[in-house]
Structure formats: C-alpha cells, structure tokens
Structure 1
C-alpha cells in the first residue's frame, strides 16, 4: 500500500531513514555525520515538517513503513530530496512501486524534470535510479560527494 505519511508514522520514518543512511554512509564518512543524537534530532525535525506539509509518501508492507519518499522544489527545480527503502526489503519491489508513485505524482502536477543527489559510493542506489531512467546531469554532474541525476518525467498520454 502507498499513502501519504501521517504524524503517527514519524518514529518509523526516522528509524528507516537512519538505517538506510547508515547502510551507504558507514565506512565512507565519519559516523557522527549521520549517526549522532544531534543528527537524528535534526533529521527527525525535518521529517516532522515534511509530514506536516503532506509531502511524504510511504510504502507500507505488512503494516510497517517499508519505504519513504519526499520531493520538493529547490531553486525552481523539482527535487527528489529523500528516497529510502528499509534495507531488509531491498530488491522486493518496494522501491519500484514507490518510485512509480512519485513519477505519477509529478505527472499529475505537470512536472517535466526532476533532480536528485545520490552519494558517490552508493552504487546500489545509482543502479536503481539508472534502471528507472535517471541520467547524470550534464550541467552539474556533482555536488560535493554526491552525483547529480536528472529524470525527464514522461508526459501522460491522453
């Protein structure tokens, strides 16, 4: 099931976010940059704000939040700001279903292009995005230690 997150989902979203980030950052950047009480509090507050604005999409499996996505405009460009799947559910279809729902939402909103940043060492996510049509941004291929990708959102046939 896919649905908009509610405040009741905040704890599960915060845990999923922390676990996913640990999976790709650990060993590449200092743990305190992603796994400290201060960082957890900061990201929890950002998720609470996004949930309040109604921009967090949840994939729920077996009654548990298994994936989350949040997009927003940044400098006039729609940006997939967060996209995480519970590591225990990788390669189970959760990410693909969540991504398809994001694309459908962008189509309904008339969005033509979306941007994201993916950690340079997160090759699993890079392969996922490539399978779903994301390409390196020709104008800005990097942002610090992240690769910048773009997706041309297909128009709805009508």
Structure 2
C-alpha cells in the first residue's frame, strides 16, 4: 500500500493540484489529445477555478488530496450532483483525478477513489459517473479494476474535441 494520507483539500493545496493536473495532462494524454493543446495548457484558468472551488464548494461537491511524506501526491474532485445531471439528481461525478506520474501504480489513485466513493455513498448518492478519454487505455483499465463500467454515452471533450466515454459505478450504501 501507499502510506498515503487522504484528506479534504484546502485552498492552500491549489498550487499542488494545478501542478498535478498539468503533469497528468503532459504525461497521460500525450498521443491522445492534440500536441498543441498539451503545449498550451490553461494553467492560470485552472489555478483560478481550483482556488475558487476550494474556497466556495458548490452543493455536495468536494476535493480530496492524498499526501505521501507530507507532499500532495494526488487529488480527486467530485461534483455532486454531477455536471450532466439535474440539480436534484442522485448521481455524483468524478470530474478529475490526477496522481503524480512518478507515483503511478502505488495505490494512491485507488486510495483516492475509495475515499470519494465512500463519501458520496455516505451523502446518499447511489451512483457515480466519470468521463475519460476513449483512447486512455491505462485509465480505463484502472477504473475497470475498481468496478467502473462503460455505458453508452460518448462525446467530444469540450476543450480538445477528443472522444470521451462515460463510466458509471454503483455505490454501496454506507451506514
């Protein structure tokens, strides 16, 4: 296991989260999305959105970080209800999960996903969804190992036009 400590993110984690997002895009999405998009990441916009989202979360939305040896090594942001859902929906969405590429395959992503699914279930959400790039075989295999299943939804990524697919996961009720 990782030795990771998973906790709620704070606004002080903004720079670490922005850095993880950028490194995730550069490593995981090379060859999947257009190279010019990776070369021109919207760092300032991410910084603004992440900081304001941590300062003033919307509805049941939340962000968790995983720390290893005192450093933020990964994070997961959940929108609840999900962005595709009606405001009173019972479906939460994993909007983003990124782990330091140098720490992949060490259980950090699993620890984050276990944490967020437990929180969503405890908040009364019976199901979660997420979108991933269709050609991101590594991410799809990771989600499959955790029990996520593809449904029939498919759409282009808003910023890149790259095909994405939706996965869903039924949550176990928490007492």
**TM-score (ref. length: structure 1):** 0.90
1:71, 1:80 within 8 Å by CA — same for their partners in 2? yes
1:143 pairs with one of 118, 131, 155: 155
TM-score by length of 2: 0.82
User: Is 1:132–2:136 an aligned residue pair?
Assistant: no
Deviation at 1:134, TM superposition (A): 0.5
* Cα RMSD, aligned residues only: 1.5
SS of residue matched to 1:69: strand
Q: Which residue does the alignment assign to 1:84?
A: 98
Q: Note the C-alpha offset of 1:131.
A: 0.6
Q: CA 1:32/1:44 → structure 2, altered by over 3 Å: closer, same or farther?
A: farther
What is the 5 A alignment of 1:6-155?
6-36=10-40, 39-54=42-57, 55-72=62-79, 73=81, 74=83, 75-76=85-86, 77-138=91-152, 140=153, 142-144=154-156, 145-155=163-173
Ranges in structure 1 where 5+ consecutive residues have no aligned partner: none
Contact 2:132–2:166 (8 Å) recurs in 1: yes
Deviation at 1:26, TM superposition (A): 1.7
Q: How many residues align?
A: 154
Higher helix fraction (1 or 2): 1
The secondary structure found in structure 1 opposite 2:44 is helix
Runs (5+) with no aligned partner, structure 2: 157-162
